[in-house]
Amino acid sequence: MVYTVTLNPALDCYVSPEALVPGRDLRYGGCRFVPGGKGINVSLLLASLGVETMALGVAGGFTGRELAARLEGQGLATGFVFLEDGLTRVNIKITPPGQPETALNGGGPEIPPQALDQLEKRLAALAAGDFLVLAGSVPASLPAGVYARLGQRVPAGVKVVVDASGPALAASAAARPFLMKPNREELAEAFGEPASTREEMVGLAKKLQSLGARNVAVTLGGEGALLVDESGGVAFRPAVEGSPRSAVGAGDSFVAGFLYGWSQGGGLDQALDWAVSAGAATAFREGIASGEEVRAVYRRAFGGQR
């Protein structure tokens, strides 16, 4: 079972006025709501791939209830802690025809200590062999080390995966995660050092390992991905050939693909193959790819039959 935690989920509201003109009243014909959040994206793709998963996190008010209802309507199990005060944020995505998207992203509610305590109690029910994915931004009301705290509360034998940025990235290594997945920019920011060359990226990944991480996968966008494993090995995969449309959700899909590949029993090499396939499948479309789209990319890129 793969459990994902999203501390700052969102409802993304997409609207398409005829044009975006500052200072004018504009009309749009309708809006489309899409559940958002890195851990949620991981669970959605895993579910589509046939992996048992549950989306956990913190949600608030009528927007939080709508978020959970939409996920459950898609067949995804959820286990959110609901706040007594505050609303799950709504991100407004304005997409006029032929114009670049303009986004108004909310900051999220304040998370009180008792909500975090409730979440920890739910994580205590995980069992050896489960995975826990801690992904996304850390709300301003919580310390940068919150992922380390959550990762250290799970029972022995639970494998922790972290996809974080900023101060939370290095801090979360204290949980000794099975996998950490920064992109190149996040890795450089975490240590205040350049990550331009492969040698520099490997060196910074090993710094994360010295802080506690077991395996570190660095996503490189259109250049592919790099994996530094706990035995000291370094593996690289070039990007899958195709026509990228959007980078949104590609990193989350990479994590889901990695866990799916690992579940197939082929070890880290196969996990990396599936990870780059899943990231590419999402990059080639708008929104998170389906399991069938991921499998199609995997077969094309690596000749696999699963």
Q: Which of these is catalytic: 229, 252, 269, 273?
A: 252
170 phi/psi in degrees, rounded to 5: -65, -40
User: Quick check: 187 and 218 in contact, CB under 8 A?
Assistant: yes
Q: Is 287 left (phi over 0), alpha (psi -120 to 50) or beta?
A: left
User: Quick check: 260 and 274 in contact, CB under 8 A?
Assistant: yes
Name the packing angle between helices 250-263 and 291-302 (round to 10°).
Answer: 70
Cα separations in angstroms, 211 against 124, 180, 247, 275 = 24, 11, 29, 24
Question: Is residue 184 packed enough to be buried (19+ CB in 10 Å), middle (13-18) or exposed (0-12)?
Answer: buried
- What is the Cα–Cα distance from 90 to 268, expressed in whole angstroms? 37
Q: Which helix (H) or strand (E) holds 62?
A: helix 61-73
| Alpha helix segments (H runs only) across 154-249 | 167-172, 184-191, 198-211
Strand 89-94, strand 77-83: pairing: unpaired
Per-residue tokens: 112: 């009180």
Rg of the chain, C-alpha, whole Å? 19
Annotated catalytic, 269? no
| Residues labelled as active-site residues | 252
